[in-house]
Amino acid sequence: RALVVTADFITPLVDDARTWGRIAAANSVSDVYAMGGRPILGLNLVGWNTEELPTELLGEVLLGAEDVARDGGFVVAGGHTVDDPEPKFGMAVVGEAHPDRLITNAGLRPGQLLVLTKPLGIGVLSTAIKASVADAEAVDAAVASMTRLNAEAARLAVDAGVTGGTDVTGFGLLGHLGRAAIESGVDVTLDLDAVPVLPTVRDLIADGVVPGGTRRNLANVEAQLDRGGRTEDDVLLVADAQTSGGLILGVDAAAAEGMVAELTASGHSAAVVGRTVAGSGLVSLH
With CA atoms as reference, report the closest residue to 42 among 18, 12, 71, 6: 6
Cα dihedral: 138, 140, 146, 148 (round 10): -130
Task: Report pLDDT digits (tens) over 178-221.
Answer: 999 999 999 999 999 999 999 999 999 999 999 999 999 999 99
Q: What is the pLDDT of residue 229?
A: 96
Q: What is the pLDDT of residue 231?
A: 96
Q: Phi/psi at 84 (nearest 5 deg)?
A: -155, 130
* Beta-bridge partner residues of 125: none
- Per the confidence metrics, is the pTM higher than 0.85? yes
Instruction: Characterize 194-222 residue by residue with b for buried, 16 or more Cβ atoms within 10 angstroms of its Cβ, and e for exposed.
Output: ebbbbbbbeebbeeebbbebbeebbebbe
Helices 151-159 and 253-265 cross at an angle (nearest 10°) of 150
CB within 8 Å of 278: residues ≥ 6 apart? 110, 185, 186, 187
Task: Report pLDDT digits (tens) over 49-93.
Answer: 999 999 999 999 999 999 999 999 999 999 999 999 999 999 999
C-alpha span between 253 and 205 (Å, rounded): 33
Q: What is the pLDDT of residue 158?
A: 97
Mean pLDDT of 143-151: 97
